[in-house]
Homo-oligomer: A and B are copies of this chain.
């Protein structure tokens, strides 16, 4: 691992090694394509369908790896995190499969369906105030009381290594991709994806995509300075978080470009994929396709891999319904 700003960036070998450790515990998800989608895109798109992953999202890869690397002594006291999203379910299930306790801090206003999903995996849930400060304070108390290891959703090299395993599988299946495109939230998936491609297919361009209203990665990448996210008012609920110093370093080193899309473009692309591909994807996954459909990324005559990050969505409140 190389050092940058005292932050250790995982190497391709780290990602490859993580993949070999977790491959029997994660689903090898299919890579789908669609003639109608390709007609609209003007190029060949290959969708790596992590919506079919365990817990319905790529997050299970990172959580499985990070929890798998804990020593017996560390593992004994379990793991903890705060999340109301896919990372909570991923940590809960990965801990259950290792046979250790999971302590999940969830905001008191978390949707019941998400609370139930975490509870179904046998995790201990502690409710907190819904602010970032409230969540972190409650997490600290839980960690202090239980001795559990905090598993950060992305500011953790072992998480990044695990997330990169999706891109390894994608490149094993489609070796000649001109581009790989992923959405950027906290940057864990983007970092792991870029590192995986840097070793396996160095000539493949790595593109990040982000909602225009949560463009912290775009601004950070452009200015060379870490910008925290200013607004969390995007339909892409998986992309409301800010980069960390670690993920920013990975992205600076390995990502070629970042593009942003509007909220309307995200919702329209998401619906197009539901209608044409008959798969359920979260708004966050539609961000790369939105960038292509609206001419921000040119795939004319090219082959582009896209990481479909997850399929967890409230079916009572679809974003095209008011």
Contact = CB atoms under 8 A, between A and B. Distances in A.
A318 interface: yes
A94 to B, nearest CB: 15
A30 B321 CA distance: 31
Nearest to A30: B30
Contacts of A279: 278-280
A315 interface: yes
Nearest to A317: B321
A271 interface: yes
Given A30-B30, A271-B315, A278 B320 contact: no
Contacts of A277: 52
Contact of A280 (B32, B274, B316, B321): B274
Interface string A20-40: 000000000010100000000
Given A274-B280, A278-B52, A279-B279, A321 B316 contact: yes
B318 A274 contact: no
A73 to B, nearest CB: 31
Interface string A285-322: 00000000000000000000000000100011010110
Contacts of A30: 30
A56 interface: yes
Q: What bracket does the count of chain A residues touching chain B fall in?
A: 10 to 19
B275 A278 contact: no
B274 A315 contact: yes
A203 to B, nearest CB: 30
B320 A316 contact: yes
A319 to B, nearest CB: 11
Nearest to A280: B278
A115 to B, nearest CB: 15
A315 B320 contact: yes
A315 B275 contact: yes
Nearest to A282: B278
Contacts of A318: 315, 318
A51 interface: yes
A85 to B, nearest CB: 16
Given A51-B278, A278-B279, A315-B320, 12 more contacts: A30-B30, A32-B52, A56-B278, A271-B315, A274-B280, A274-B315, A275-B315, A278-B280, A280-B280, A316-B320, A316-B321, A318-B318
Closest 10 CB pairs of A and B: A278-B311, A278-B280, A51-B278, A52-B278, A274-B280, A279-B279, A280-B280, A274-B315, A56-B278, A278-B279
16 contacts: A32-B52, A51-B278, A52-B278, A56-B278, A274-B280, A274-B315, A275-B315, A278-B279, A278-B280, A278-B281, A278-B311, A279-B279, A279-B280, A280-B280, A316-B320, A318-B318
